């Protein structure tokens, strides 16, 4: 019996530019009525993920920043791992030297050095305020995540991931979309966040359904007793999933839930 669903947001239950479909909203209400906990597990910053959790009326902790931060409904921090200060400063220097746009997340606040089309696209519809400033004017500490973005060249982003993994083998560096390179603490993984809540609630792996769509969801999908890839998932994610559902446009999340969880409701 599935007692908890751990789900990614973007590309899984949230369609970019459209938000949560009526079918997803209804499914969440049905799950809550059935007593199944739904936990959001995302690379998003906490305040953006919290807005999504509130919109869905989940009433459960939120796992954000690829698992680097977990907060409960009362805003109590249950788990947090930040980037080492020296690493964060070196990554800022790398971005400047290579003309890379980065989002810098300090204590759940978003900072950028240029107010450009990249940050406008990233924040559109996500309820994310941001501050434009020179990073040299900030105290670089409590860095939740650094996100490097190139909206036009996915191969360039792949190159960043490969390069930075060699330089920082103890960090968690992953492509979360074709155009996003996420850089977090090495102790930050979606699967570790799920395990933390399983331990807190006394749930077994076989009582968990996990679902996502990108390579940063691979360890998430593998953490569940039933691991589901969206139909729009990457080939790498589909290869390690137990089941491949429909796409986000066709409410694949809802179809997976009805197959494995809300079978007779």
* pLDDT score recorded for residue 21: 97
Res. 126: pLDDT tops 80 = no
Q: pLDDT tens digits for 139-193? A: 999 999 999 999 999 999 999 999 999 999 999 999 988 999 999 999 989 999 9
**CB neighbourhood size of 239 (10 A):** 11
Q: Residue range 135-141: average pLDDT?
A: 96
Give the chain's domains with CATH numbers. Answer: 4-80+189-260 (3.40.50.1000), 85-184 (3.30.1240.10)
* pLDDT score recorded for residue 66: 94
* pLDDT score recorded for residue 55: 95
pTM for this model (two decimals):
0.92
244: Cα separation from own chain's centroid = 19
Percent of the chain surpassing pLDDT 70: 99
Q: pLDDT tens digits for 240-254? A: 999 999 999 999 999
| Structure confidence at residue 124 as a pLDDT band (50, 70, 90) | confident
Q: Residue range 54-73: average pLDDT?
A: 96
Q: Which residues are catalytic?
A: 8
* pLDDT score recorded for residue 125: 67
Residues 118-127: contacts with CB within 8 Å, 24+ apart? 118/149, 118/151, 121/151, 122/149, 124/17, 125/16, 125/17, 125/19, 126/44, 126/48, 126/51, 127/47, 127/48, 127/51
Contact of 6 with 220, CB cutoff 8 Å: yes
Q: Residue range 2-28: average pLDDT?
A: 95
| Mean pLDDT of the residues in the chain | 95
Res. 263: pLDDT tops 90 = no
């Amino acid at each position: 019996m599935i007692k908890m669903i751990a789900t990614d947001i973007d590309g899984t239950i949230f369609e970019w530019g459209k938000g949560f479909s009526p079918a997803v909203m209804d499914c969440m209400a049905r799950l809550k009525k059935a007593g199944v906990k739904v936990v959001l597990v995302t690379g998003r910053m906490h305040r953006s993920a919290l807005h999504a959790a509130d919109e869905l009326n989940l009433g459960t902790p939120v796992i954000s920043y690829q698992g680097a931060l977990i907060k409960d409904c009362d805003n109590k921090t249950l788990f947090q791992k930040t980037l080492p200060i020296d690493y964060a400063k070196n990554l800022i220097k790398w971005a400047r030297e290579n003309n890379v746009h980065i989002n810098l997340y300090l204590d759940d606040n978003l900072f950028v050095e240029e107010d450009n089309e990249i940050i406008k696209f990233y924040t559109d519809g996500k309820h994310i305020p941001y501050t434009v400033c020179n990073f040299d004017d900030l105290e670089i500490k409590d860095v939740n995540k650094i996100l490097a973005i190139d909206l036009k060249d996915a191969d360039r982003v792949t190159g960043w991931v490969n390069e930075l993994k060699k330089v920082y083998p103890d960090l968690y560096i992953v492509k979360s979309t074709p155009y996003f390179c996420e850089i977090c603490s090495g102790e930050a993984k979606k699967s570790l966040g799920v395990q933390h809540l399983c331990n807190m609630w006394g749930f077994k792996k076989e009582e968990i359904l996990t679902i996502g769509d990108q390579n940063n969801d691979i360890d998430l999908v593998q953490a569940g007793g039933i691991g589901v890839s969206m139909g729009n998932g990457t080939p790498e994610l589909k290869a390690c999933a137990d089941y491949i559902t429909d796409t986000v446009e066709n409410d694949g999340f809802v179809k997976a839930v009805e197959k494995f969880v809300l079978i007779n409701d």
